[in-house]
Chain A
Amino acid sequence: MAPPEAVPQAPEAAASTASPVLEARSVSKRFPGVVALDDVSFSLRAGETHALVGENGAGKSTLIKVLTGVYRPDGGDLRMAGRPVRFARPFEAQQAGISTIYQEVNLVPLMSVARNIFLGREPRNRFGLIDFARMHRETTELLDGFGVRVDPRRPLHTLGIGTQQMVALARAVSVNAQVVIMDEPTSSLEPREVETLFRVIENLRGQGIAVLYVSHRMDELYRICDRVTVLRDGRHIHTGDLADLDRMQLVSMMLGRDMAEVRRSGVTSFAAEGHEAARTPVLTATGLSSRHHLHDVSLSLYAGEVLGLGGLLGSGRSETAKALSGALHLDAGELTVDGTALNRLTPAAAIRAGISLLPEDRKAEGIVPGLSVRENIVLAAMPRLSRAGVVSRAKQDRIVDIFMKRLRIKASSPEQKVGELSGGNQQKVLLARWLCLEPKVLLLDEPTRGIDVGAKAEVQSLIDDLAREGLAVLLISSDIEELIEGADRIVVLRGGAVAGELAGDDVAEDRLLEVLADHAPAPEDKSPAAQEDPR
């Protein structure tokens, strides 16, 4: 992890003396129908941690892709250490010492963890062949540093999204780089992993490495970033020391709205008071078991409440949600909706029964990238929006219009391909897909992942409203604040089994952490007990 040119200076000193390691001068980038970057200038100094913020679709990821040779800018130029550079391919940016974690986890799912980490720079033995023993050893060591314990031979796609993100981090940081760029690295991480990440960033800063950090989580920015650059609608709005701005100022800059308007929203946008839940459950799950995934999970969901699902990485929250929506093969267990048992559990049956799941992995399980915003929204509702198998454009347009407005989906038109939208807007499209089904039960697996402050607030108050209107909501969130403030009740999972339930006044951060920590061996805990996989 040693940088090529270690500059063991204090961060401030490094930041003030060194010339920018990486610089973009008036870059522009257009896509058909959108100006994603409009004359944006930006500079990154050695040893600083620089926040890049802006709403969904502001152009953050595009700027990063321009900086790293994924996109060729339509105008403007790049410099490294004062010298003009042009990257024809990401490969060249990497050669120049820029290491990047892109927003969508960009590893090869079918390949093993170790192969992913070492792709392109595999250790060789003396015959010039790949030395797998060493590769696996080094992978284990490297991941240990990140608090991740996983068999280096395991195919990446068998890991949860969070773990995959840690693997991507490990890869990025283990390359000798002068610049490390992270596009929303924490959106799928647990609090504890976030801490690990911050330690890593601290470490990089100590080595004089510049970090460009994108996140929608304000508290994170204030904890680790020195300076900030704000983008809005593809334009550069502001660059300066983060310490000079308070949260409100920052948010209002991002949203382009005035302070008073912004001030009204608190940490989260959930209303302070809880919801009035019905007496009888809409959905009851008893004894859900699926080999290796779930063990005898039982829970009930009441109309009008938000049930939180707590747990650490890999505790089985996503699996539970999938099981409830018919997307996971169950070895045992029963599901009843409004008192009637569902016997053949498939996603289609669950949807018919009024259960909708917003899946966790947006790219793999959510969007159909080649289809338009409109079609992605109506995908699940199509049968209802057609007559005799013929789709009704008018009906579709009405729904799509409503939801694009309500969720403020930013697209050049409903006909734009979803694959071209920014990450946050893709998430909103998915939310719209499930909301337009008018479900009784809404299962939300990380609904606010990767969406900006404004939109997050909207989604949160939407969840609130939905519960108030009588919907039963299951909320999975790695954002503890969101979980605590949003949920009326929290079921905590551990190792695929229910470890406890919090209700009433117990729905509080310290209580949750208590249950989480109770007998859960921390992943980074290297005690012999922790090595035993309980499953």
Chain B
Amino acid sequence: VSGCSKSETTSNAGGDSSQGAQAAKTPEASSGAGCSLETYGAPKLDLKNAVVGFSQSEKEANPFRIAETQSIKDEAKKIGVKKLLTTNAQSQLSKQISDIQDMLSQGAQFLIIAPLNSDGLEPALKAAAAKKVPVLTIDRKVNSTACKDYVAFLGSDFVEQGKRAADAMIKATGGKGKVAILLGASGNNVTTDRTKGFVDQIKAEAPGIEIVAQQTGEFARDKGQQVMEQLIQSKPEITAVYAENDEMGLGAVTALKAAGKKPGKDVKIVSVDGTRNAVQALVNGEYNAVIESNPRFGPLAFATAQKFYGGEEIPENVIITDRAYDETNAEASLGGAY
């Protein structure tokens, strides 16, 4: 019953520093029976001689995606995988489905998928299952049946990230103030989860904090900046900003600075991701906290795959531990940011 996923600190991803590596939290006891090669019904495979496919969801155009893809590629090389197929769905769900199908018809024997969305990948997962190709999903979780449609999920808990951001916010503001939320892209479940975690936690823990605005910044820096510029004018009473990713948070910093306010002091800023730029802002004192969302899935993913083929049982959810950065550890952790 027990997991197999404790000691995942074997290596680091981008080669940055050992600080950046992912670590799996102990899976919750409730995660139930793990998934074995036998129960899943896949043929035995030596990864070294295998064709592995990786389906990336969004363009490698933000630090998270760049680090994620790079880490998979590096680890595949390190292990000596025969051939790694990579595709990028360019944020289109239909493309991700066909990407996966394309890789299957190109002979992929094991798949790592970074899903664009929790729902909707069913046809692709079915196609893989029909060919008895095991699938590991990373980063975002899919709403399908583990050990049937896919082997297991590795990644963060986005609701939890929102919750931790709320805690950091409470700490930074002393539990009082008016907060604006810069939402991620509409309709995206990362947005939904990070909002839910944050809002619920604030409600439960900090009655003194009022959420006065929730506007989308579409996960992009310039949109975040533009929304912030509007809010500075219309809601000058805002004392804190929660940005659902670092890019929007950094956009808010620029907007605040241009308006003659001191980000990190006049207006507290907390965001999620842990990119180098955000941690640097923390070092500069223009930021208050960053909740990490660690993209370096390569080592953990391949290690999990090897365990799976080694006959071990893999728990349904391998939740990784995300770190948190604040003034106290920013400088020291800068090397581990991506």
* A/B: CB atoms within 8 Å of each other: no
